[in-house]
């Protein structure tokens, strides 16, 4: 079931991120580091605004939306209209307040583009989560892909006329704003606006610890940009953000190939069979997650020199070559925690434990980043963030183990063995490969990995598993 659901979600997890990856590569050739640094900061700010203003409602909908059914979701549509309108007003205030403390000049055009992008992207993100909660995979796919793809196209057109952060953000803002009405109309909706304080209380009771922990978690991933901007300026943020952003995004995409379908299955197991079956599903999800994240991380680290030389603009190339492997490893560690161990406490409605873990991770990450930046520059900052993510990983998995989660060691060892064998053809690749050689090496390594993995897990082939 997990595999079939994962395949159905696959287009949503690949198309949008591929467009975002292409955008990062394009901006390294078209934007100066200072302008790219501003784009990276605003995009990071949008994620913070979502956590502060709307994530509480999205978390409630994702956890309980499936149990409502179509009629129940339609009944909440008027209430959701009120929540989204209030959220939009809050987003304007938070975005303006944060931008006012930064170094970017708040011209009317830049402010309009930043606000438009933040609000439209935040609302689109929520509607995608609402579609996922209801199993509307087609709508979820539209929400996840239309904005990034059309936004990149519009941003390219506008950036060709003016190589600035304002042009890039305006392109993405227009694309996300255009797709919002389509998503709203395709989900259960109404024109009425009515705030149900009872639902608000229930949603806040469940989601407030998640909101706080999510906001703190934002600092674990994006705090490095803020610290670097304050200490070294926008140019340093631009040089940092290519390697750090690509590493984070590549591994987040690898994780989401599995996790978009995984958590709703665990919720279903919890409702049907209780904690024991839910934990068993989380463990299965975790093994599947590792089977994707471990080889992806190893491949990114091994192929960094070749990928950077072929893709990244000259001004960003040297720093990206140094930072990308560390960023990929930090993202892998964090994504395995978030999409495996964290699920235990979401299922048991114990978000307070996640808050404690997130506080520990964020404090360690920010402290490590600051000390690392002062002692070793941008590489030191990234290594400090990696250390903080590792501390959070150990703390969360320890708590999940005490709660009852058991991830068997044998499948993990098999995945590690298959990954080691996968790297063999990459070791034979020449130092400066062209596109054809690189693509052939990646395809060969991926095919070899899948073949070895299938052989090592042959008892799980269809028709060979014994009924439980």
Helix pair 33-53, 197-232: axis angle to 10 deg = 160
Under 8 Å CB-to-CB from 112, ≥6 apart: which residues? 170
* Residues 14 and 159 placed together within one structural domain of the fold: yes
Distance between CA 86 and CA 36 in Å, rounded? 31
Query: Do residues 341 and 368 share a domain?
Result: yes
Q: Tell whether 143 and 217 lie within a shared domain.
A: no
Residue 459 placed within a domain: no
Q: Contact 239/309 with Cβ under 8 angstroms?
A: no
Give the count of domains, the chain: 2
CB 32 within 8 A of CB 238: yes
Residues 167 and 270 grouped into a single domain: no
Say whether pLDDT at 318 is over 50. Answer: yes
**By C-alpha distance, which of 166, 145, 146 is closest to 42?**
166
Q: In this structure, is residue 467 part of a structural domain?
A: no
Average pLDDT, integer, range 210-217: 78
Q: DSSP per residue over 91-106, as a string?
A: HHHHHHHHHHTSSS--
Do residues 233 and 346 share a domain?
yes
Q: Domain span at residue 81?
A: 1-195
Q: Considering just the CA atoms, what is the radius of gyration of the chain in Å?
A: 22
Distance separating alpha carbons of residues 69 and 65, to the nearest angstrom: 7
In a domain? residue 146: yes
Do 43 and 107 reside in the same domain of the chain? yes
Residue with tokens 């940092």: 240
414 found inside a domain? no
pLDDT tens for residues 185-206? 888 777 888 888 888 888 888 8
Distance CA 131, CA 50 (A): 17
d(CA 98, CA 282): 37
* pLDDT value for 243: 93
In this predicted structure, the answer to whether residue 88 has a pLDDT above a threshold of 50 is yes
Lowest mean pLDDT among 150-159, 251-260, 367-376, 411-420: 251-260
pLDDT in tens, 364-418: 999 999 999 999 999 999 999 999 999 999 999 999 999 888 989 999 999 999 9
Q: What is the pLDDT of residue 2?
A: 54
Domain shared by 158 and 256, yes or no: no
- Alpha carbon distance 429, 439 (integer Å): 11
Return the closest-CA partner of residue 35 out of 161, 157, 168.
168
């Amino acid at each position: 079931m997990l595999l079939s659901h994962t395949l159905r979600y696959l287009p949503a997890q690949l198309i949008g991120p591929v467009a975002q990856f292409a955008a990062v590569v394009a901006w390294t050739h078209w934007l100066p580091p200072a302008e790219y640094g501003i784009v990276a900061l605003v995009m990071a700010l949008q994620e913070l605004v979502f956590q502060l203003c709307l994530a509480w409602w999205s978390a409630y909908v994702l956890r309980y939306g499936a149990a409502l059914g179509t009629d129940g979701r339609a009944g909440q549509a008027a209430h959701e209209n009120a929540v989204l309108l209030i959220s939009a007003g809050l987003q304007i205030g938070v975005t303006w307040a944060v931008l006012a403390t930064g170094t970017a000049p708040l011209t009317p055009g830049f402010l309009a583009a930043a606000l438009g992008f933040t609000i439209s992207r935040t609302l689109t993100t929520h509607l995608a989560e609402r579609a996922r909660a209801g199993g509307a995979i087609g709508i979820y796919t539209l929400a996840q892909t239309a904005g990034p793809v059309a936004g990149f196209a519009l941003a390219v057109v506008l950036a060709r006329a003016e190589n600035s952060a304002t042009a890039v953000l305006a392109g993405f803002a227009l694309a996300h704003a255009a797709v919002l009405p389509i998503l709203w109309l395709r989900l259960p909706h109404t024109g009425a606006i009515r705030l149900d304080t009872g639902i608000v209380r229930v949603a806040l009771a469940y989601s407030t610890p998640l909101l706080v922990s999510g906001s703190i978690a934002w600092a674990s991933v994006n705090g490095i940009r803020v610290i670097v901007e304050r200490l070294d300026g926008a140019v340093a943020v631009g040089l940092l953000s290519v390697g750090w952003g690509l590493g984070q995004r590549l591994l987040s995409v690898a994780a989401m190939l599995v996790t978009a379908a995984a958590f709703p299955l665990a919720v279903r197991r919890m409702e049907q069979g209780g904690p024991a079956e839910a934990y068993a599903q989380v463990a299965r999800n975790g093994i599947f997650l590792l089977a994707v994240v471990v080889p992806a991380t190893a491949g990114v680290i091994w192929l960094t020199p070749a990928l950077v030389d072929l893709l990244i603009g000259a001004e960003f190339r040297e720093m990206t070559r140094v930072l990308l492997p560390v960023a990929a490893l930090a993202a892998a560690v964090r994504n395995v925690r978030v999409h495996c161990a964290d699920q235990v406490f979401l299922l048991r409605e114990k978000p307070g434990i996640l808050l404690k873990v997130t506080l520990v991770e964020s404090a360690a990450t920010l402290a490590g980043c600051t000390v690392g930046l002062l002692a070793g520059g941008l590489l030191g900052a990234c290594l400090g963030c990696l250390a903080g993510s590792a501390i959070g990983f150990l703390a969360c998995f320890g708590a999940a183990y005490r709660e009852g989660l058991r991830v068997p060691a044998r499948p993990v060892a098999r995945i590690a063995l298959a990954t080691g064998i996968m790297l063999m053809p990459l070791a034979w690749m020449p130092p400066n490969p062209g596109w054809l050689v690189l693509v052939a090496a990646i395809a060969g390594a991926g095919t070899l990995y899948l073949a070895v993995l299938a052989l090592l897990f042959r008892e799980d082939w269809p028709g060979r598993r014994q009924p439980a």
